[in-house]
């Protein structure tokens, strides 16, 4: 058997993990997003909807246009 390079070792680990997760390798963010388990909590968190006042953004635009 040929020695494995770093890349092929990583690929081997990924494939191995993929086979253990039903053939589809999931990224950490997908695997641990808790959407299903904590859907009720996310529903509450989603209720927060704030935005900065437009005046503040306009001041920044003015600053940007004066900066060269």
Partner 1 sequence: MKTLSGLSDYELVQRYVNCNDKTSIEALINRHRKKIYTYILLVVKDQHLAEDVFQETFIKVIKSLKEGRYKDNGRFISWVIRIAHNLMIDHFRKEKQLNTISNDSYENDLFNSKKFADKTIEEEIVLDQISKDVRRLVHELPDDQREVVILRHYCGMSFKEIAEQTDVSINTALGRMRYALINLRRLIKEKNLSLSIK
How long is the chain? 68
Q: End-to-end CA distance of the chain: give it in Å, rounded.
A: 61
Give CA–CA dist 14/25, Å, rounded. Answer: 7
Q: Show contacts with partner 1 in window 23-42 (CB under 8 A).
A: 28-29, 32, 34, 37-38, 40-42
Query: Between 1 and 45, whose beta carbon lies closer to partner 1?
Result: 45
In angstroms, what is the minimal distance from the CB of 51 to partner 1?
Answer: 5
In angstroms, what is the minimal distance from the CB of 48 to partner 1?
Answer: 4
Q: Note whether 63 binds partner 1 by CB under 8 A.
A: yes
Give CA–CA dist 19/10, Å, rounded. Answer: 14
């Amino acid at each position: 058997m040929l020695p494995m390079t770093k890349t092929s070792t990583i690929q081997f680990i990924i494939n191995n993990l993929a086979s253990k997760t039903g053939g589809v390798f999931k990224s950490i963010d997908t695997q641990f997003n808790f959407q299903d388990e904590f859907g009720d909590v996310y529903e509450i968190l989603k209720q927060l909807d704030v935005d900065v006042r437009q005046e503040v953004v306009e001041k920044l635009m003015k600053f940007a246009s004066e900066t060269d």
